[in-house]
Amino acid sequence: MRPFTPSKKDEQRDQILVAEAIAGNRSSLEQLVIRHQSWIFNIVVRMTGHPQDAEDICQEIIIKVITHLASFRTESSFRTWLYRIVVNHLLNVKRQHLRNNQISFEQYGQAIDRTPDLDLPDPNALPVDLHLIVEETRISCMMGMLLCLDPHQRLVFILASIFGVSQRVGAAIMSTTVSNFRQQLCRARHQLAHFMDEKCGLIRPENPCHCVRKTRALIDAGLVDPHNLLFSREHIQRVHEVVTGRDNSLANFLEKRCVQLFRENPIQPSPDFVNYVKSLLDHPELNAIFELYH
* Ordered domains of the chain (ranges, CATH): 1-101+272-294 (1.10.1740.10), 102-228+234-268 (1.10.10.10)
| C-alpha to C-alpha distance for 105 and 147, rounded to whole angstroms | 9
Please tell me the predicted confidence (pLDDT) of residue 248.
Answer: 60
Sorted by sequence, the CB contacts under 8 Å of residue 140 that are 6+ apart come out as: 218, 223, 224, 230, 231
Per-residue model confidence (pLDDT) at position 210: 97
* SS3 at position 236: coil
Distance linking the first and last C-alpha atoms of the chain: 28
What is the structure's pLDDT at 241? Answer: 84
What is each CA distance from 174 to 25, 33, 82, 143, 216, in whole angstroms?
Answer: 30, 21, 11, 21, 40
pLDDT in tens, the chain (294 residues): 777 776 889 999 999 999 999 998 999 999 999 999 999 999 999 999 999 999 999 999 999 999 999 999 877 889 999 999 999 999 986 555 555 567 899 999 999 999 999 999 999 999 999 999 999 999 999 999 999 999 999 999 999 999 999 999 999 999 999 999 999 999 999 999 999 999 999 999 999 999 999 999 999 999 999 999 999 877 678 888 888 666 666 668 899 999 999 999 999 999 999 988 888 887 766 666 555 555
Supply the pLDDT for residue 243: 82
3-state secondary structure of 213: helix
Closest to 49 in 3D by CA, of 242, 275, 223: 223
| Contact between 107 and 10 (Cβ < 8 Å) | no
pLDDT for the residue 7: 81
Helices 130-146 & 211-220, crossing angle to 10 degrees? 90
